[in-house]
Chain A
Amino acid sequence: MPLDIFPTTAEHIIAATDAVTTREDGCDDNYVARFIDVPQGNAHNALEMAKQLGLVGQGPAPENLYFPQKPFAIYLVTAKDSQKAAVLRLVLENFEPYCIFKQRLAVTELAARAAEQVKLIFNLTPHRDEIRDTFISLGTFTQSLITEGAGLFKVVDYESPKADFLHIVAEVAADRGLAEAIIRRRLGDEIVGWINQQEVLSPLITAYQRVGLGNDARSCVVHAGNAIESFLVQLGAHMGVGLVGTTGINGKVERFGNQLNAKHKNMLKYLGHVRNAADHGIDTEIGNSWDISTESATEYVHVAISTVKSIVKLVLNREFII
């Protein structure tokens, strides 16, 4: 991938990465634009810069869909607000044009001059002001640069092994590890061994972490709902149920017919309907969109985990436990 810089802000990069993590099967810039409510051009620039930083990847043409790059995309969206800057800084400090920008800034003391030099060194196409603005936004957000006034910026020195932000990133990773351990214990080894790790377990852990953050009820439902839909795809393949052409949890549940019992079907329907409320904008029945309460989001994630556990126990051992 050729190195490049795109005009964007740290906030847009975080929001775009967050949007991408809600679609394990990939998404385009149109989806991200709608998800974070910015023009498509802004979403595209944020995604491309996130790709440069290694937060998202991109699939092959013609779809060119964006996918989350683990683990840092997940760290970024599951970190507390106070930790996000540290995660972003870690990936930023590993981006070569930014490292050179900092070096040139230290020498020239002028951000515009440093940006011009970075443009020359890496043979970049954007205007130097765009390079400067993007790096200043990222650098100041992550506390890698500090404002000195009158358009001047100073590089914050850090001694790598002692840098605070590395400790914070380690905390974020540890938080993820702890959340994963809790979900694994809750499901049990047998269930964890059966379900798809990337498409079912991982979004369930993300949903659980987002519940803990308590600041975005909708995203808890979206991540847990994605896990359930992927789980149904896995279950369909196991039971020989064709799900081609079905969309959403409710559509997939119907395809199972008598192969799923009424109790499990209705548990899944609950998960399907709440997910639709969280994810589908205006509900034509009420002519309005639904808000998701923190309590509902918390319950939803726990019901999702219990439903997966209950169905897999039945499939593997003929155990009837809800």
Chain B
Amino acid sequence: MSEETFKLPGSSYEELCKIIQAYGKLTKSSSLEDVSQIVKMHATAISRNNAFLSTAGIIEGRRLKSATILGKKLARALDYENSNEISSAWREIVKTNEFLLKMLAAIRIRKTMDITTFQSHIAYSAGRTKSTNIMAGAKAIIEILKSAELIIEKDGQLIPSDVSIEAGERLPSEQEISSQLKRSQEQEQTVVEISQVPTDSRNVSVSIQIRLDIKPEELDGLGIRVKKLLDEIAAVKPIDTGIVK
């Protein structure tokens, strides 16, 4: 018999985030009491959430626990209220969690669900009865999917967003695809105009200055991003000017 059920969070989304932030501040694996002192919440309130946090890959360890790399990324994003990083981290968590993926699929296939129906669905799917705590945990799952920008709340209903879970990129709408196509056609026309310039451009050097306007919390990983940008520029093939000599 399978008695294992998915462990829902035992608190609201806000409390859950505070606990994640507390784990993010730890420098070594710590006990519930240590976390309790940082977050200023009772140890039982933290304990109610630990099973979920472990299952979701946010914390690790047995009696003494610490944040995983992903957990630290999420905690830092929550500390700085960086909404892009918060949604990106939650998406990574959802992507690797079968239960959360199933909950997302439930909304996608139904196209729309109201909040209480979805809460019941989450509670039942987790194998739990609808108690106050369980429904709070189910609500936290909804908030996680919203924070991940995978679902949107509109007029009290939940609808799937157009954000792709794989790439974390928003899927373009038909209108956007159409305008992108139009822009690309215009660019093609521009290239044609350049090709008509009667000069030899092979020896022209172009100096590009890049000004980075960033916040302190965006410093992490900046080197990798800049290197990627430079690599992309270096990889651009020379423009075929179409000049006939």
Contacts and interface: CB of A to CB of B under 8 A. Distances in A.
Nearest to B116: A151
Contact of B109 (A141, A146, A150): A141
A38 B127 contact: yes
> Which secondary structure dominates where chain B touches chain A?
mixed
Interface in B95-120: 102, 105-106, 109-114, 116-117, 120
A299 interface: no
A71 interface: no
Contacts of B120: 133
B223 interface: no
Contacts of B109: 81, 85, 141
Nearest to A84: B109
B44 to A, nearest CB: 24
A13 to B, nearest CB: 12
A9 B125 contact: yes
Given A133-B124, A137-B121, A149-B157, A39 B3 contact: yes
Contacts of B121: 9, 137
A33 B127 CA distance: 11
Contacts of A81: 109
A39 B127 contact: yes
A9 B124 contact: yes
B5 A39 contact: yes
Contacts of A68: none
Interface string A145-158: 01101110000000
B124 A136 contact: no
Nearest to B103: A11
Interface string A11-37: 110000000000000000010011001
A40 B1 CA distance: 6
A81 to B, nearest CB: 8
6 contacts: A9-B125, A37-B2, A39-B4, A133-B124, A146-B111, A151-B114
